[in-house]
Homo-oligomer: A and B are copies of this chain.
Amino acid sequence: MSSVYVIGGSGYTGSELMRILLNHPKVNELTVTARQWKDESVKEKLPHLDTELRFEELNLTKANRSDFVFVCLPHTQAMEIVPKLDTRVIDLSADFRIKDQNKYEAVYKVKHTAPNLLYDAVYGLPEIYRSNIKKARIVANPGCLATGAILALYPLVKNYDAKNIIVDAKTGISGAGKNVTETSHFPNLNENIVPYKLTNHRHIAEMEQELGVDVHFTPQVIPVTRGILTTVHAFVEGDLERVGEFYKKTYKREPFTKILADPPSILAVRGSNYCHIGGFAHEKGRVVLFSAIDNLVKGASGQAVQNMNIMAGWDERAGIEAMGLSP
């Protein structure tokens, strides 16, 4: 049994971690910090959680005595804390995802204050880095849009010469966090779909780092709470009938990434750590295919727990076996 320390429990990734960890079979001690809610009852602030826990103030000594620390802080805040941790760390921010310091600083428009840790931190996508994650002290948990796009493109770019890759992502609004904004105002999003960051979303840096190809990426917020449907269009040479086969082969032993014949559905993966990929079709040299994840689970807290399970050598599915809440 293990102790887990969550830094930053007031946002969606923090509460989603609690939802999972409170029922995790290998976790017997859970501490969650939230500065503005210090000493307050978790279940009063978050009535969906059935627990007697109270939020605490950050205590680095206690954090470092824990087996695992999850960092759920905004980027820039994370890189202040992570260097002070000497236990195993899963950082859900963007601060340790980009290996090239200059690239990070260009994209996030801020100086990196812990560049020496950049190469220690393993990019936490188990489908690609499982063996490194096993040994990692720090895991940089991928971005939600990056997870959807990389898993959808990885077998394609490994097996084909793909050009002019368009990733047209549709994301639920919970990816934008808990703070109310003009976009999250119900009358503005309901019966609507909202394009944003048309050509310069920060997650593009992760996609291009991991895939090694140019990615043209445009996200749009759809009027749903959870889920990312990533639509990939690419101009590809080779035998396009075999695309699906390569996906099946690549992911055949994956516990969470599953290949379907039909286009996947964000509803089928809602609340779960699954990534569904499917819908392989092509015409006139274009391939189109789709991935579906829950942005708060496989796109954030579920994948973070998957990474912890791998690091600890537990069943990779422990605590995240839940199937999609559908309908």
A85 CB within 8 Å of chain B: no
A194 CB within 8 Å of chain B: yes
Which residue of chain B has its CB nearest to the CB of A51? B323
Contact B191 A266 (CB under 8 A): yes
Interface string of A236-271 (1 = CB under 8 A from B): 000000000000000000000010101111111111
Contact B22 A323 (CB under 8 A): yes
Complex Cα distance A168/B22, Å? 34
Contact A265 B194 (CB under 8 A): yes
Contact B321 A288 (CB under 8 A): no
Stretch at the interface among A62-70, A119-127, A213-221: A213-221
Main SS class of interface, A: loop
A132 CB within 8 Å of chain B: no
Query: How many Å from the CB of A242 to the closest CB on chain B?
Result: 17
Measured between beta carbons, the chain B residues less than 8 angstroms from A281 are: 198-199
Q: How many residues of A contact B (CB 8 A)?
A: 80
Measured between beta carbons, the chain B residues less than 8 angstroms from A262 are: 47
Measured between beta carbons, the chain B residues less than 8 angstroms from A15 are: 326
**Which of B173, B214, B227 is close to A186, meaning CB atoms less than 8 Å apart?**
B173
Stretch at the interface among A26-34, A98-106, A108-116, A177-185: A177-185
Protomer copies: 4
Measured between beta carbons, the chain B residues less than 8 angstroms from A164 are: 164, 235, 286
Contact of A193 with B170 at beta-carbon distance under 8 Å, contacts A184-B187, A198-B288, A282-B199 already known: yes
Query: How many Å from the CB of A40 to the closest CB on chain B?
Result: 14
Residues of A150-185 contacting chain B, CB below 8 A: 164, 166, 168, 170, 173-174, 178, 180-182, 184-185
Measured between beta carbons, the chain B residues less than 8 angstroms from A272 are: 48
Contact of A191 with B191 at beta-carbon distance under 8 Å, contacts A48-B269, A223-B222, A323-B49 already known: yes
Which residue of chain B has its CB nearest to the CB of A264? B47
Contact A185 B194 (CB under 8 A): no
Which residue of chain B has its CB nearest to the CB of A286? B216
**Which of B47, B196, B286, B324 is close to A48, meaning CB atoms less than 8 Å apart?**
B324
**Which of B12, B180, B227 is close to A182, meaning CB atoms less than 8 Å apart?**
B180
Contact B186 A189 (CB under 8 A): yes
9 additional A-B pairs beyond A46-B326, A192-B267, beta carbons within 8 Å, are: A47-B324, A166-B168, A168-B168, A186-B190, A187-B225, A190-B224, A199-B286, A216-B284, A225-B327
